[in-house]
Structure formats: structure tokens, C-alpha cells
Amino acid sequence: MDTPVLTREDLTRATDGPLLIDEFDSTIVVPPFARAQVDEVGALVLEIEHA
């Protein structure tokens, strides 16, 4: 499965997974059933889709 790799700075809007977010000290995996976004204070927020 093709999976984009972004930095937190690249995540400028809510983005659906699959997605990898590359940080200086970790990599965050956003699965296909989730959405990632950065909130107003810079925290990474993952929303998980309910089945």
C-alpha cells in the first residue's frame, strides 16, 4: 500500500491515513481508518473511525 511520509510541519490540514508522520525522535503511524491533524496548540490529534 502506498503510504505518504510527512513531517508535522507538512501536516497543514486534516489528512486521512494511511500516513506516516516522521518526527525527530519517532515515527507516528496513522492507519487507513484514521485521520490526523495538528490542533491550534501544535498537538497531533488522531481521529479513529468507528466501524
Check whether 2 has a pLDDT greater than 80. Answer: yes
**Gap between the Cα atoms of 41 and 17, Å rounded:** 22
Q: Identify which of 22, 16, 8 has the alpha carbon closest to the alpha carbon of residue 36.
A: 16
User: What does the domain layout of the chain look like in residue ranges?
Assistant: 5-48
What pLDDT score was predicted for residue 51? 62
What pLDDT score was predicted for residue 4? 96
Tell me what the mean pLDDT of segment 8-17 comes to. Answer: 94
Tell me what the mean pLDDT of segment 27-32 comes to. Answer: 96
Check whether 50 has a pLDDT greater than 90. Answer: no
**Gap between the Cα atoms of 37 and 13, Å rounded:** 6
